[in-house]
Chain A
């Protein structure tokens, strides 16, 4: 059972381009979380999704950011018209669901906006 897979591991985008970050949860996991981590800072919650549903997006900026978790395929975090301030590590976690389940994290995607 492979762990949570994120790709790409590193992504460089010029200002104004789009960034698409992918997360494949562990097998059997239907809950996905996305977090952003700035250098030397903690993890900030962005969005919590279940298959085909956004459960909580309270941590996501209202503009330029969107997330989805389709019935088939990975979860996607999409950032449109990237700016330098979007440079960060973006982590995805998955869980089986329910209250007593453990969350497992991917290795992250390090986005650099030049």
Chain B
């Protein structure tokens, strides 16, 4: 059974810092991995999708890596801003095409 874990559960950093969020999964038989952002009381916004054959994806200040063999992904946020404050969720598409989510990392960027 695929399980997805995200650490840390919460993170508070001053504005301008670079930071790394971690995601691990137990079964390497995945089709892809997606990072989402969720603001309080809102839906999910897709940030980055990494196909199983890829190692990383970049979008603006965000960079996501995937190491399928070790069951790990990281989301790197450069030069953090208060507007980056949100919950970040990692999800893998497993071998039966289900999206399995981690519990998320709550990020607070202090001005």
Binding site for B on A (CB under 8 A): 31, 33, 35, 41-45, 48, 55-56, 91, 93, 99-108
Contact = CB atoms under 8 A, between A and B. Distances in A.
Contact of A100 (B31, B42, B99): B31
Given A42-B103, A107-B42, 6 more contacts: A43-B101, A45-B101, A48-B97, A55-B96, A56-B97, A93-B99
A42 B104 contact: yes
B102 A42 contact: yes
A103 B31 contact: no
B93 interface: yes
Looking at A44, A91, A101, the one whose CB has the most chain B CB atoms below 10 A away is A101
Contacts of B101: 35, 42-45
A45 B34 contact: no
B51 A105 contact: no
Contacts of A41: 103
A108 B96 CA distance: 24
Interface string B93-111: 1001111111110000000
Contacts of B76: none
27 contacts: A31-B97, A33-B99, A35-B101, A42-B89, A42-B103, A43-B44, A43-B91, A43-B101, A45-B98, A45-B100, A48-B98, A55-B97, A56-B97, A91-B43, A99-B31, A99-B32, A99-B93, A99-B97, A100-B32, A102-B32, A102-B34, A102-B46, A102-B49, A103-B34, A104-B46, A105-B43, A107-B42
Contact of B46 (A43, A91, A103, A107): A103
B36 A105 contact: yes
Interface of B: 31-32, 34, 36, 42-46, 49, 51-52, 89, 91, 93, 96-104
